[in-house]
Amino acid sequence: MNIIELTNIEKTYDMGGAEQVQALQGISLTLTKNEYVAIMGPSGSGKSTLMNIIGCLDTPTKGSYLFNGLSVSDMNDNELAKIRNKEIGFVFQTFNLLPRSDALHNVELPLIYGGIPSGERKRRAMETLENVQLGDRVHHKPNELSGGQRQRVAVARALVTKPSIILADEPTGNLDSKTGEEIMALFEDLHRQGNTIILVTHEADIAEHAHRVIRLRDGKVESDAPMVKRKKAGAPATA
């Protein structure tokens, strides 16, 4: 079954007055369970807009978006919030952790919004943090953690609700290449465990971890193909 089914998605922004910017111009694509997809494209290609729509942070101007068979285009704010809470795990470039809360509370947060009682919440958050090797850092606040650790807290927060997809937006953008590789290895693990992952990036060697690459240009799908592995990482990116 398709988790995500986009058909002729368009997104137009009003820039004030009669001026309009068409960020997405008819995007169609489908994603099935346990896929590992990279969305690539230069800046201005519409990949952020597409990610926001896939992540239910935004709704398309035109076109249909079915998430697990449900039409997202028709949903109201509350329903979108519910989908984001239960079905989507976000991992951001800038981690986006709550600075005043410790790792445990950050991971608990989606469960709080999901109405999970305290006991179960703590247990699941602990479990997930242990899964990302942060069992000994649960009471550290973000500023007491390294960049890689912060991103792992963010991954734990994305995973804790057992979402249908994990949506990672440039997850290694703020990390050095060594920690970046660690995070990518973590994603590989998650994929092997059966998770569906969408990776938004403009770095070819990061995208290489995915098994399918969708390239965007000027708000359209330029190409959509299985990843062809290069022999060796490190060659300059072509996209």
Please enumerate in sequence order all residues whose Cβ is within 8 A of that of 48, keeping only pairs 6 or more positions apart, or say none: 169, 200
| Residue (35 or 102) nearer to another protein, CB | 102
- Tell which one of 47, 137, 152, 157 touches another protein (CB under 8 A): 157
| Residue (108 or 208) nearer to another protein, CB | 108
Tell whether residue 2 is a contact of another protein (CB under 8 A).
Answer: no
Rounded distance between C-alpha atoms, residue 67 and residue 65, angstroms: 6
Site string for another protein, 5-44 (x = CB under 8 A): ----------------------------------------
The footprint of another protein on residues 160-179 (CB under 8 A) is: 161
Give the CA distances from residue 143 to residues 100, 133, 151, 197, 239, in Å, rounded to whole numbers and listed in that order: 9, 18, 12, 27, 35
Give the residues across from 24 on adjacent strands.
11
- Tell which one of 35, 38, 54, 55 touches another protein (CB under 8 A): 55
Rounded distance between C-alpha atoms, residue 52 and residue 226, angstroms: 23
> Cβ-count burial of 80 within 10 angstroms (0-12 exposed, 13-18 middle, 19+ buried)?
middle
Tell whether residue 82 is a contact of another protein (CB under 8 A).
Answer: yes
| Residues that bind another protein in the complex, under the rule CB under 8 A | 52, 55, 57-58, 77-78, 81-82, 84-86, 90, 92, 96-98, 100-101, 109-110, 112-115, 157, 161
